[in-house]
Structure 1
Amino acid sequence: MSRHTRLIAAIDTKDITQAKQWVKDFGKTVDAIKLGFEFTYSCGLEAVKEVSAGHKLFLDLKLHDIPNTVASGLSALTKSLSPALTTIHASGGAEMIHRAREALEENFPSPDTRPKLLAVTVLTSMDQTGLNQIGVTGTPHDQVIRLGKLAIDSGADGLVCSAHELVALRDNLGDKPILVVPGIRPQGSEANDQKRIMTPRQASNAGADWIVVGRPITQAKNPAATAQAIQDELS
């Protein structure tokens, strides 16, 4: 199945002025922007709304708590910000995921306007050693497939996953789930703290719907040119 893979620029900063400048620099060279813990907790929800104005928003706060708390929190966040994509942790379990989906549907009755619910499987900073340290004896691959199936069966629209599990997830879950892939590094970029990475083209060929790129774009001398080069690679 041919896919058009779209680019999300990760805005990781505590400085609202810097965030606004990056978004201005990107212009239309990116398809969405991601705002997560660092910016949201430093600058607040009104700043998230201000910085994301005019762009699709990937609100990446990875909620993980008892089902009622996650549903209530997600309802408040999405009603205020109307993100295109938002995240919870798949490891919160089936009821938590189901309640999160219900909360979104109550706030956004139309499927066209409802934020897409993404479940985080295994963080791209986690390798086999990291999983073993928290008591998971299976491989990262096995854990991603297990949590991916659970999340989709429980109401998630898609998953956040490593590019290295894309083919296996498509084989197990089909073409419908939205797959969003962080840990993407253009050829020649530093890996930083990501351990399971791919280039934009590799991720697209493997079945990614969205790729997330942060530092390689924001720390570039010309962020817009770097983003455009990634778009060119994807197309």
Structure 2
Amino acid sequence: MSISPRDRLIVPLDVPSVDDARRIIDDLGDSVSFYKIGYQLGYAGGFELAQQLIQDGKDVFMDLKLLDIDNTVEKGVGSIKTMGAKFLTVHAYPKVMRAAVAGRGDSDLQLLGVTVLTSMDDEDLDAAGYRMTAAELVAKRAADARAAGMDGIVCSAQEAQSMRAIVGPDMAIVTPGIRPIGSDAGDQKRIMTPARAIAVGADYLVVGRPILGAPSRSDMAKSIIDDIAVALGKR
């Protein structure tokens, strides 16, 4: 993929208000071109902010993790595709993904299948009733995503290299749980540094708290982008 290092960094606007989000966007300025909006901000005016960001030339990742009956998912994606967002997530259940692909139609919206949340490990999956490891479930859902005609998957960077062999060269691999050296893992369990994640095959990195909590958000973002550029040169 011919994607610049800057465009591979996705900053999540996981804050409670649009005013909070705008302060982050102002702090980051031109250092960041790609933002993720999820439930917390989405329900607090984030959909309107997403459209404003798109009008300002930014890329937007709508992290809604849709999961519902086929008709509801298809119609929901049909509505979202008019926003102009770049990415939209759905849970990587085969029927859900096929419905999302039908709803997307021939629009430019790219659909990502969420395999296993990076906050979950084997013990969590066992407690939820899954009789396979996180790696095994990610692999199954990645294969299902490819078969459904999805544009990419969301998985831990720890699985990126093995998933590339499953999804092929053209599907995007988006990895949350990215932590620069010295950063706190927080509630993430399957984590990796930015440079290592790129080196093993991730296309896009979602980096939240290390940037949002930094003394200089723009400097931290630029440092991560520099790490991405170095790693791309070695890949």
Tell me if both proteins adopt one fold, taking TM over 0.5 as the criterion. Answer: yes
The answer for the alignment partner of 1:42 in structure 2 is: 44
Indicate the SS of the match to 2:30. Answer: coil
Which residue of 175, 180, 183 corresponds with 1:181? 175
- Is the Cα–Cα contact under 8 Å of residues 10 and 34 in structure 1 kept in the other structure? yes
Calculate percent identity across the aligned residue pairs.
38
| 1:166-210 CA-partner distances (Å, limit 9, x unpaired) | 111112222111000000011111100000000000000010110
1:54 is displaced (CA, Å) by: 2.6
Number of matched pairs: 226
- Is the Cα–Cα contact under 8 Å of residues 158 and 179 in structure 1 kept in the other structure? yes
Which stretch of the first structure deviates more once superposed, 192-201 or 36-45?
A: 36-45
Q: Does residue 105 of structure 2 align to residue 105 of structure 1?
A: yes
The answer for the alignment partner of 1:111 in structure 2 is: none
CA-atom RMSD in angstroms? 1.7
1:42 is displaced (CA, Å) by: 1.9
Unpaired runs of at least 5, structure 2? 230-235
- Is the Cα–Cα contact under 8 Å of residues 3 and 207 in structure 1 kept in the other structure? no
Amino acid corresponding to residue 206 of structure 2 in structure 1: V
Q: CA 1:205/1:2 → structure 2, altered by over 3 Å: closer, same or farther?
A: farther
Unpaired runs of at least 5, structure 1? 109-113
1:76 is displaced (CA, Å) by: 1.1
Q: How does 1:214-229 map to 2 (within 5 A)?
A: 214-229=208-223
Q: Does residue 117 of structure 2 align to residue 123 of structure 1?
A: yes
Indicate the SS of the match to 2:62. Answer: strand
The answer for the alignment partner of 1:69 in structure 2 is: 72
Greater length-normalized contact order (CA 8 Å, ≥ 6 residues apart): 1
Indicate the SS of the match to 2:16. Answer: coil
| TM-score, normalisation: structure 2 | 0.91
Indicate the SS of the match to 1:27. Answer: helix
Indicate the SS of the match to 1:183. Answer: coil
Amino acid corresponding to residue 101 of structure 1 in structure 2: V
Amino acid corresponding to residue 102 of structure 2 in structure 1: E
Amino acid corresponding to residue 98 of structure 2 in structure 1: H
The answer for the alignment partner of 1:191 in structure 2 is: 185
Which stretch of the first structure deviates more once superposed, 183-192 or 167-176?
A: 167-176
